[in-house]
Amino acid sequence: MRGSRRALLGALGSGLALAGCLRLESDGGGPAAGTTTDTATETTRPVGTDPPETEATTEQPEPVTALSGRWAQFRGGPANAGVAPDATGPTGEVTETWRSSLPDGIDAYSSPVVADGRAFVLADDALLRAVDTKDGSVLWEQQFPADADDIGSPAVADGTLFAGPLDGGTFYALDAASGAYRWQTSIESGSFASPTVADGTVYVAGTEGTLYALDAADGSKRWAYDTGGRTVLGSPAVVDDTVYVPSTTANELPDGTDDLFDVLYYDTFYQWGNLDEEPHATATELDAEGTVHAVATGDGAARWTRTLPDFVVSTPAVVDGTLYVGCWDANVYALDTADGATRWRSAADAPVSSSPAVADGVVYCGDWAGNLHAFDAASGGRQWFLPVGEHVGSSPAVAGDTVFVAGDNNAVVGVATSGRQRWQFQGGSGDFNASSPAVVGESVLVCGDLAEDTDSNTSALFRLDPA
């Protein structure tokens, strides 16, 4: 493994005796009668000098290379399963290979994506950055004409990077190698959720409640679907000929505001995060509810909708005919993808904004009590839970037999699928917030805060590898 150290090897060279000791000299200078010469090569040196010191060798660390694997969109792929099938991630202790710090005053809550040896992060103030996964050096940056605390991750497909800032009402496609703009298209609002790319179409959910299907080649709109909700916070999932997207509405809004997104993000989340913000309202006072929509990928026609009893921030995962999603009512739901019927509902210990990961018949997700849960995918029975932070807004990723997740205590952890913690990495002195790990090969990439003062807004992208 990269960076490993092994014990010293044995000494080289063993024939270090003085000249004349390896053979008996005859008068004629040849071997004496009845003797043989040693088959070892003799070493001669002036009498009275010390033998040369034997040099010890250590195995050199394997050179750090750029990552060749892919984690090309939030949750790894269009189904949002949160699984890296060709990766293992670190299974033992980890080391920080590099950190790529953002400019002063810039924070990063979004999750990195990785493709073709590059990692991409959409940070606050609509700053999009590409870094070399070998050493963390900045390859290029783009500053979108917007100003917001961006949360959504970009997505990469066929050499094109897709991203939409939270403010601005414009969605962009850029050349992933150079950062040059390829196209841009207007949408009604910015996007909190990450885009999903599947079969030449980019699915973008606007904060005003519309789901757009854009042609990946030129950005033209194929269709738009009105969720009827006030906002969309979770990213779309695409499987076969259906796209699934959650929306949230509220029957009561605080006086003086008509923007549900502002209330949910800046008030309710901050209240749970124990930040120094005065909330307008609690979720209960909002009388909120969430809806999961199933929409045809071909024409945007509604196939079914299913209402949940509280708002939905979680991104749904779709695996083997079942949709799994977390809800602010502190439950995880499993819905039949054919009609939205409930297959099971299982309780967490606090509201769930973490997006589920589904692997080998198990559903993993975090909650705002700081626990990572494992539920049986077929029955919903809880197999185990493990405290991993003060809050878990991060979404877990699974590679091999390890689950990777970040907590708000500035720690990233690797947990065996049996529920035993394998390792923990502490980054700076701040929080890891809601950034979710990307797992590529033996490596994990994740964004984290560097400063304890959350108002300082200083973040970095970290690459972690086996120690």
CATH number of domain containing 138: 2.130.10.10
- Across the range 284-312, mean pLDDT stands at 91
What was the pLDDT predicted at 229? 72
CA dist., res. 122 & res. 107, Å (int): 10
Flag whether pLDDT at 213 surpasses 80: yes
pLDDT at site 357 = 98
Residue 426: the pLDDT is 81
The Cα 319–Cα 339 span in angstroms is 15
Residue 42 has pLDDT above 70, yes or no: no
Same structural domain, 39 and 106: no
CA 258/CA 240 separation, integer angstroms = 37
Q: Which amino acid is at 364?
A: Y
Count of domains in the chain? 2
Strands 371-376 vs 382-387: parallel, antiparallel or unpaired: antiparallel
Supply the pLDDT for residue 434. 63
Q: Which pLDDT band holds residue 263 (cuts at 50, 70, 90)?
A: low
Q: Residue 241 sits in which domain range?
A: 94-251+287-466
- How far apart CA 205 and CA 213 sit, in angstroms, is 9
Q: Provide φ and ψ at 266, rounded to 5°.
A: -80, -20
List pLDDT tens digits, range 424-466. Answer: 998 766 554 568 999 999 999 998 876 555 455 578 899 999 9
| Residue 147 · residue 126 · CB < 8 Å | yes
Q: Is residue 78, in this structure, part of any structural domain at all?
A: no
Helix and strand numbers (H, E) in the chain are 3, 32
How many whole angstroms separate alpha carbon 333 and alpha carbon 467?
A: 38
pTM (2 decimals)? 0.82
Residues 35 and 176 in one domain: no
User: Are 104 and 33 contained in the same domain?
Assistant: no
In a domain, 460, yes or no: yes
Q: What is the pLDDT of residue 311?
A: 86
On whether residue 82 sits in a domain, the answer given is no
Least confident residue range of 11-15, 23-27, 48-52, 83-87: 11-15
The residue among 73 and 165 whose pLDDT is bigger is 73
- Residue 200 and residue 313 in one domain: yes
The pLDDT value given to residue 262: 66
- Encode pLDDT of 326-351 as tens digits: 998 999 999 999 999 999 999 999 88
Q: Are residues 4 and 121 in the same domain?
A: no
**Nearest by Cα to 192 from 154, 218, 165:** 165
Q: Which residues pair with 292 in a beta bridge?
A: 246, 306
My answer on whether 344 and 448 are in the same domain is: yes
Residues 229 and 367 in one domain: yes
